[in-house]
Structure 1
């Protein structure tokens, strides 16, 4: 009669062998003299690497999306509010998908690391575990104690009993450890497969939304150029002022005094914000996509503004900048090509290159408040243009910008040079980074109180 403990080990061994093909005991050990099992042939390989059914479905879906977009643009002709609403909706959806992609990609990195650690652990014990499994299988074919002793030899019987008693606890520990590791590896692989499937779906959604957003932005700028053209001389003057100015505060002052579109924007901002600051904010005004002035005064927008881009905050306002000072704004590491939106209603007073900032966008939000954003590869709005909170204004590049061989960390208070210091998680992977700075009457202020409740944890985290 086979002992119960041996039966348990044999059952467990069979399960382990089935779960981990690379740990299977060779046929010569498990079944001496038995013929090798037949190996099934793999299914035919699609050498073209193209899933024609999926390709046809993608083409059909893309054509349908393009047709719908053409119909939407046609319906929005002459309707600024409708076009703006489509822009806001698409930008919000794109930002949400971007954030989901960031979360899923981060989870995949963690799962890949866990799977690699488990495989390494199993690999280091491969020889020991193979011997354990082989011993279990042999015990199953020739149940103890008959294989370990001869009935006519009492001394051998005692020795065999001692050996079996010492061996079984070790086999139990090894078997249980192996079962635990293989179970965890199976769970990780299942979750990893699900995450990768989710990643594929999100990327497809993002591609479609990105194409739609680009078309809508193009249509918006076309109408902007027709209705409020910016003279080439004004653009040239703005660039000349930027080249001749070394400080952001001076840049804003000169632009709003010397460049016509920027001056008109400053006048409009000053005219509409003063009466609003005295009363309670009209939150219903935020729902009007056709508005041409800020829905509420900037000081009253605390806790309402959306982050301008999906990503991970790698530097916060007031943190040490690595060169003896403190950060004047916040830096967000993003995905390559991520769309950037205006955090608040306001007028564009500058859009172009400036010193170490690279492509710099300055929005006058009224009441002496300005929003600075730098690190974009491309800005998609013009001087003097009024933009809504959440409206797309630029696009991130593919890699972090570098200055003098050091990764650009975001401009400092004066913007005279790039800051140095320890690299962030974003710089380690070459992720593009968006620098955001809020200013009140020329002085940097902490933007954290302005972000919406759903984004506060992302800023602090």
Structure 2
């Protein structure tokens, strides 16, 4: 029968050796493509913090839009708020996928560190375990027949009894690492389950958004007319413009003309007394024109990035040929939801040379936003949007979405105006 001290030592070392071997030879069966998304553990931690922050922001935006939709009295305002709320829910689901991926990457990183430490200890532990197991398997009857062997066995048992506390202490951190490895396995399974749940919610939200866009298109089709003429005019301007800057300038000129026409005074009612009309006209002619107020030149309120993603090029960064960037370039998730950066009116929506599908939004007070690199569009020319309204989705492969903000035709840094 094995002595308690010897049995304990063999059990400890055997468990450590076998468990270490099992961990090294059986890594987490997660998606190895995740390693390419994060360079190291700190990068994954930063991505986790960023994704959690974006998820919370999208959740708050969705709640605000849902409350606005519930309190809206006009059908158009209600529809805009509902679409923006649904787009925010889509972005929340996308951020939840990012959270799950970053958590899984952190688990994998810590798991690899534990595997390396266990691999370093594996060889001496296995050798010692084999020696102890050989000693234990030796029958006690052989020790009796061999001169001095029984005394040696008793002496060895006494030595092991005295060293059990030392063995227990020295293997405590090893056992803790084995326990932590099992915890990481459970955390990895939970992260994968969270990702699958987020992907399922994302699919459901996107299906709802597509159905809403189809309903809006059907409703807009019944009330075409002026919208058709405006869309044809925008497409014609796109064909005539030599480059993207020229297209924006032409659209801004059309927008300025539209604003001036809208600001013209309405018809003067016929006066009840003769002579009063001329007095009213003379008063209007002599009146001083109003001076612009700060509110008449203010940038679009509640301005935001059109998509969640990593910043690839900042405003003013040198590009090919030394040309400085006139906007922000973002690298989002493939097929990510793209929204209107601010409230305004869509004056162009369609493909344009070398820029993929683009959307140009005319804001109040002479501000214009340009979003390029979309894979598909749900926005249409003449549509009024709020900050957060869905305008399309990023491309499916290697997407890059660019945002430009212009004031009176001059590019400005969008980050200076993002809330």
Q: TM-score range by the shorter chain?
A: 0.5 to 0.7
- Cα distance, 1:218 vs. partner? 1.7
Match of 1:387 in 2: 385
Partner Cα distance (1:395, 1:277) in 2: 37
Partner Cα distance (1:100, 1:112) in 2: 18
Give the direction of change, closer, same or farther, for the CA distance of 1:448–1:230 in structure 2 (3 Å limit).
same
Say whether 1:445 aligns with 2:412. yes
Match of 1:299 in 2: 299
1:340 to 338, 341, 352: 338
Partner Cα distance (1:228, 1:387) in 2: 18
Structure 1 residues 35-75: Cα deviation after superposition (integer angstroms, max 9, x where no partner): xxxxxxxxxxxxxxxxxxxxxxxxxxxxxxxxxxxxxxxxx
Partner Cα distance (1:321, 1:143) in 2: 80
Backbone CA RMSD of aligned residues: 4.5
Match of 2:187 in 1: 191
Structure 2 length normalisation: TM-score? 0.65
Say whether 1:16 aligns with 2:16. yes
Partner Cα distance (1:316, 1:384) in 2: 30
Say whether 1:202 aligns with 2:198. yes
Q: Is the 8 A contact 2:339 2:391 kept in 1?
A: yes
Q: Is the 8 A contact 2:227 2:382 kept in 1?
A: no
Match of 2:241 in 1: 245
- Cα distance, 1:342 vs. partner? 0.7
Structure number, greater radius of gyration: 2
- Larger helix share, 1 or 2: 2
Structure 1 residues 209-235: Cα deviation after superposition (integer angstroms, max 9, x where no partner): 111111112222322333354566654
Runs of 4 or more consecutive aligned structure 1 residues displaced over 6 Å after TM superposition: 1-5, 167-174, 268-271
Say whether 1:371 aligns with 2:369. yes
Partner Cα distance (1:275, 1:17) in 2: 83
Please give the secondary structure, in 2, of the residue aligned with 1:299. Answer: coil
2:213 to 207, 211, 217: 217
Say whether 1:104 aligns with 2:112. no
- Cα distance, 1:5 vs. partner? 7.4
Unaligned runs of 5+ in 2: 25-71, 265-289
Structure 1 residues 354-392: Cα deviation after superposition (integer angstroms, max 9, x where no partner): 233221211111222111111101121222221111111
Give the direction of change, closer, same or farther, for the CA distance of 1:178–1:324 in structure 2 (3 Å limit).
farther
Partner Cα distance (2:120, 2:365) in 1: 66
Structure 1 length normalisation: TM-score? 0.60
Q: Is the 8 A contact 2:300 2:367 kept in 1?
A: no
Give the direction of change, closer, same or farther, for the CA distance of 1:255–1:15 in structure 2 (3 Å limit).
same
Match of 2:403 in 1: 436
Structure 1 residues 404-461: Cα deviation after superposition (integer angstroms, max 9, x where no partner): xxxxxxxxxxxxxxxxxxxxxxxxxxxx221111111222212123323xxxxxxxxx
Q: Is the 8 A contact 1:306 1:451 kept in 2?
A: yes
Partner Cα distance (1:138, 1:327) in 2: 72
Q: Is the 8 A contact 2:20 2:115 kept in 1?
A: no
Give the direction of change, closer, same or farther, for the CA distance of 1:178–1:251 in structure 2 (3 Å limit).
same
Partner Cα distance (2:300, 2:310) in 1: 26
Q: Is the 8 A contact 2:114 2:181 kept in 1?
A: yes
Match of 1:314 in 2: 312
Give the direction of change, closer, same or farther, for the CA distance of 1:17–1:236 in structure 2 (3 Å limit).
same
Give the direction of change, closer, same or farther, for the CA distance of 1:189–1:223 in structure 2 (3 Å limit).
same
Q: Is the 8 A contact 1:265 1:384 kept in 2?
A: no
Q: Is the 8 A contact 2:300 2:343 kept in 1?
A: no
Give the direction of change, closer, same or farther, for the CA distance of 1:360–1:228 in structure 2 (3 Å limit).
same
Partner Cα distance (2:5, 2:317) in 1: 61
- Cα distance, 1:18 vs. partner? 7.4
Please give the secondary structure, in 2, of the residue aligned with 1:356. Answer: coil
Q: Is the 8 A contact 1:129 1:174 kept in 2?
A: no
Please give the secondary structure, in 2, of the residue aligned with 1:333. Answer: strand
Partner Cα distance (1:253, 1:270) in 2: 21
Match of 1:61 in 2: none
* Higher mean C-alpha deviation, range 6-15 or range 204-213: 6-15
- Cα distance, 1:91 vs. partner? 1.4
Partner Cα distance (1:88, 1:128) in 2: 62
